[in-house]
Chains A and B, each alone.
Chain A
Amino acid sequence: MSIFDPAETSLAAPSDGRSWLERVPVAYWVVGLILLIMPAIAGDFMLFQIFGWTFILGLIALGLMFLGGYGGMVSLAQMSIAGVGGYMVAIFGVSAIDTISLGWPWYVAIPIALIIAMLFGTLTGWLAVRTEGIYTIMITLAIAAAFFYFARQNYVMFNGFSGFNGVLPPMLFGVDWRGAAAFYYLTLFWAALGYLVVLYISRAPFGLALQGVRDNPRRMSALGYNVTAHRVAAYTFASLLAAIGGILLTWQSAQISPGTAGIGPAIDILVIAVIGGMRHPVGPFIGAFIYVILKTYAIDALVTLGLSGERFQLLIGIAFLSIVFWSPDGIIGLWDRLREDRKRDPLTGRGGEEP
């Protein structure tokens, strides 16, 4: 299972007397600054459609990366959990379907939505951890399909095929959160928060125990760790990320329907996480960016090449396949390999690691 090689995170923080602010790597400052001043550079379409969507899909895939990279469990139910989050906001909050929507204020509806989505995710996890490895993929795929069909056929709660439209974010602080810049900052905030929390957890006792469970469940259970509880808790945390992403996704398109959480989108999340790489939380965001760029511009590129724009899936499939074939660790893996090559001594061919 070379995809899930142990994460190369430096676990022991260097205690060289610098404050934590000084220990933040330069790359973080640069990327952070660029992302913060992005609204001054990019147009509304870029902000809302490209970056907003990237952050949302990245956030949902981040949950999968957390499960897969640190827990060794690949779940395809992430998108369904995001769908539950979106649906619950539409059901408990305000939408254009006022026969079903309860119209509760956002500070009630959103926490309820998050809690229900987490309950659903935990239940999924509880079922999925009864099995291992490839079985998990099959079971979560089946659960995702069940949710899709259920939402499509249930008209009492989920409003069937058409779903809900007119689901808008609350007008908090007098800001229209669907405005391009405001939505950009909203999604950026949650994506950055999710990223940092995952990074933190990966070095916290829970994350370390989870990685131990991934590498050797029997030894961990002999050490007195409750393996099942750790795995289910990982699902719960991943579903929180997915639920936040799902709510943002619903706000972005102002609607939610069964197609949002269909089987195609569920597999897309896996594609995103694998293309980006599952070893580091930055992977899902890279993968999401590539996916969104492809999905937005591939049609134009294909048309100029003389192919029909409908062949987008083919392009995505080939990209996914070649990544899985040649670089199981995704783009991050490619990057790492490139860096190792550069560090290698050209004469001896050794090195690659810092002395």
Chain B
Amino acid sequence: MLQFLIRRLTGAVVIMFLIGAFTFFLFYTIPQDFAQLSCGKNCSPENIAVIRENLGLDKPITTQFWEFMRGIVAGRDFAVGHCAAPCLGQSFSTGDFVWDSIMDRFPLTLSLTVGALVIFLVIGLGSGLLAAWKRGTALDKAVSGASMVLSSFQIYFLGPIVLGLFVYSTGWMENPKYVPFLDNPVDWAVALLIPWAVMATIFTAQYTRMSRSTMIEQLQEEHVRTARAKGMPQRYVFFRYAWRGSLAPIVTILGMDLSGLLAGGVVTEFTFDLAGIGRLAVESSLTKDLPVTMGVMLFGAFFILVLNIIVDLAYAYIDPRVRLA
């Protein structure tokens, strides 16, 4: 198990480095003068030269890359002061350290994605199980039909509808906002309830369908039939034999969906006007604030890798073959 974890972690570090290198060179080799951009139109050549030096753009690209990478591990010094260890550079436009801006926004993104993840896994897998258990009945048809329709909905369409129902017209709930978890966990959950529900609905529908079909597949397996033939109680067969087997493919898909989860978080932010790292990415991208855009990209990749390792661990727990391999 430990070996498995170590192997995954080394792989993650290598991937992070490659993504960093790839993004960095693509970003900084495009024929575009950022000093010119941040200086404006009526800018004397001397000013541009000063800005270029301040931003470190006068150095060769490999030196810039080396400094960037070293900054992530060891920190780095800027004109405004020292930038502590995971240093992703300094914003071109505001001068803030990128890491700090990301950390300002990240709690919201984390709350949104992980909260929705938990909700849609519980409800999705649960309703899929129920549909498979009652296969062929009206309940099954209702669940399958509803999930088919709901999975075609979009966050940016469903979100305003839910807002309209629960906030604007009835006033039952307040507009979603972010309350830090440590300040007040209850308020935190209440304020994020609508975004969670909307985001989870879309994903739930997909996981219901998946969980139902893998479960039905598993129930037709030989070992399940044997268990039944031995006279084991239905419930025992269902959960101990079929369910565990049906989880493996779902977890695999979940691992591939994580990037979609982050994307869902970004759309949810925009739908409910919340400020998370998605909004940071878009703002910086529109103002061509490359260090911030790059930092958010890397951080997003890191976040997904971490979630992926957790998913892999879950996979190893569910499927013993993975542990032994």
Are the chains A and B members of one assembly? Answer: no
* A contacts, CB < 8 Å to B: none
